[in-house]
Chains A and B, each alone.
Chain A
Amino acid sequence: MTEKQSIVDKQADHCIDQQQSETHFGFEQVNSSDKAGRVAEVFHSVAAKYDVMNDLMSAGIHRLWKRFTIEKAAVRPGHKVLDIAGGTGDLSFKFSRLVGCEGLVVLSDINDSMLKVGRDRLLDRGVAGNTQYAQLDAQYLPFPDNSFDVITIAFGLRNVTDKNMALCSMLRVLKPGGRLLVLEFSKPSNTLLEKVYDTYSFKALPLIGKLVTGDADSYRYLAESIRMHPDQETLKSMMVDAGFANPEYSNMTGGIVALHSGTKP
């Protein structure tokens, strides 16, 4: 057995070992098999006003976080890009212009309501020909090995039931040298900012959610799921364990959001 084969086998074992029977849904412990359904309910509820809420909750700053992600993705003409948890298609819209006619962008989401909103938005903006749509679970990506040059998952990883399994699946479908970018809420680096952010998340967010979408619980889940998501260093080590090379992260807005990146060796 070669050394490389041994590393691949160890990574595969790691991915299988990580499958757990229980996981968290916000601050609640639930069966792993139930989480996807619970998350789906949340996103069915918010899909129609997802963009308005994003702008309201972040004061439009989510557009800057996404723009930075697009720059870091370094997508070039001819690239194949997988946008996981692509939601309303903000990233896919830009990627479709960058990959050109020879490239391909796959906008994917586990939630059909979100995917429909994203697909309609892209079609309305004239995006066609180099874009495909797929409803899929990030843990079981239905693509052959070594398919994509770039994979992005923006504000989606924390909703995935088994994050390790999802990272392994992403590594598998990335081409060697391909890049994964994970844009996700994280842990503020300043304690004062963290306190302000906590107050905002647990008091203001559910209230805004209730006023705009009539659903406070979904936005309470949002705040809880952010707190339960691994911090910057933990997610970085999870990427290393999954087999990614050169893992690094950039804190944005004082660490409220972090962009992690890693390369398939």
Chain B
Amino acid sequence: MAIDPTLSTAALTAAETAINQTLLYDPGTRLALAQLEGQILAIDVSGPALTLYLAFNRDGLQLLGNFEGNVNTRLRGKAFNLAALIRGNNTSLASSGVEVFGSTALLAKLQTIARNIDIDWEEPLIQLFGDLLGHQSAEYIRWRCGYIQARLKTGLRLGSEFLTEENRSLPAHAELEFFYQQVDTLRTSTDRAEAKLQALLARINTPPSNTSQP
């Protein structure tokens, strides 16, 4: 069932406004996006079927539901795979479930821009609460975010160590790599043995050539 254009346009408008309002507090990212002006990234989402286009300009980002010009890069995949790609730090699209068509340079530039996003939350807080309270609120939020990030990182590391080292319920990364290497070696050896076997069978099945002279 097709989505009513009013709904899809409303969703895109809301997302675009939210992104561009946030980018107001990150002039570096806005400047970097402005350098991509004229380039278009298309995203074909399957399940639910949806195509959206990202255009870049001085004001930030433009999200479009319809576009008829030339597209520089097109990404195609399931919503889940695309979301995982955006959230992750993958440097390759291999086995990500996402196909890419056209120039990958735009994707690389966008990935760099996304990595360097640095939103200055202090400015909107100062506008809201005044210089003193705004600055202190921003300091507190920065400290709180840093604390949470550090705790999360430590928690993940400790959890991973417990599961792999103490409990032995999961293999360690190095063990997994070693296992994959062994599988690869076994596959190559099997391929080689199969090729040799085929060659032998071919030699056996070939009738001997008649070499007798009259």
Contact = CB atoms under 8 A, between A and B. Distances in A.
B210 interface: no
B93 interface: no
Interface of B: 4-6, 9-10, 13, 64-69
Among all A-B residue pairs, the 7 with the closest Cβ atoms: A74-B68, A71-B66, A64-B9, A253-B6, A252-B6, A68-B9, A68-B5
B9 A251 contact: no
A71 B4 contact: no
A252 B10 CA distance: 12
Interface in A247-265: 250-254, 259
Interface in A38-72: 61, 63-65, 67-68, 71-72
20 contacts: A64-B6, A64-B9, A64-B10, A65-B6, A67-B13, A68-B6, A68-B65, A68-B66, A71-B9, A71-B65, A71-B66, A71-B67, A72-B66, A74-B67, A76-B69, A250-B5, A251-B5, A252-B4, A252-B5, A252-B6
A253 B6 CA distance: 6
Contacts of B66: 68, 71-72, 74
Contact of B4 (A67, A72, A74, A253): A253
A61 B65 contact: no
A165 B175 CA distance: 79
Interface of A: 61, 63-65, 67-68, 71-72, 74, 76, 250-254, 259
Given A61-B6, A64-B6, A254-B4, A71 B64 contact: yes
A78 B83 CA distance: 37
A251 B67 CA distance: 18
Contacts of A67: 9, 13
Contact of B13 (A64, A72, A254): A64
A260 to B, nearest CB: 13
Nearest to A254: B4
Given A67-B13, A252-B4, 5 more contacts: A61-B6, A61-B10, A252-B6, A253-B4, A253-B6
Contacts of B9: 64, 67-68, 71
SS class, residues of chain A in contact with chain B: helix
B9 to A, nearest CB: 5
B4 A251 contact: yes
Contacts of A64: 6, 9-10, 13
Contacts of B4: 251-254
A190 to B, nearest CB: 11
A72 B65 CA distance: 9
Nearest to A66: B9
Contacts of B5: 68, 250-252, 259
Contacts of B67: 71, 74
A253 B4 CA distance: 6
A76 B4 CA distance: 25
A221 to B, nearest CB: 25
Contacts of A74: 66-69
Contacts of A250: 5
Nearest to A71: B66
A87 B34 CA distance: 32
Between A63, A64, A254, the greatest number of chain B beta carbons within 10 A of the residue's beta carbon is seen for A64
Nearest to B66: A71
A54 to B, nearest CB: 15
B159 to A, nearest CB: 46
A71 B10 CA distance: 13
Contacts of B64: 71
B56 to A, nearest CB: 14
Contacts of A252: 4-6
Contacts of B65: 68, 71
Between B4, B67, B69, the greatest number of chain A beta carbons within 10 A of the residue's beta carbon is seen for B4
Contacts of A65: 6
B39 to A, nearest CB: 14
Contacts of A71: 9, 64-67
A259 B65 CA distance: 15
Contacts of A76: 69
B18 to A, nearest CB: 16
A259 B6 CA distance: 11
Nearest to A97: B57
A177 to B, nearest CB: 12
B64 to A, nearest CB: 6
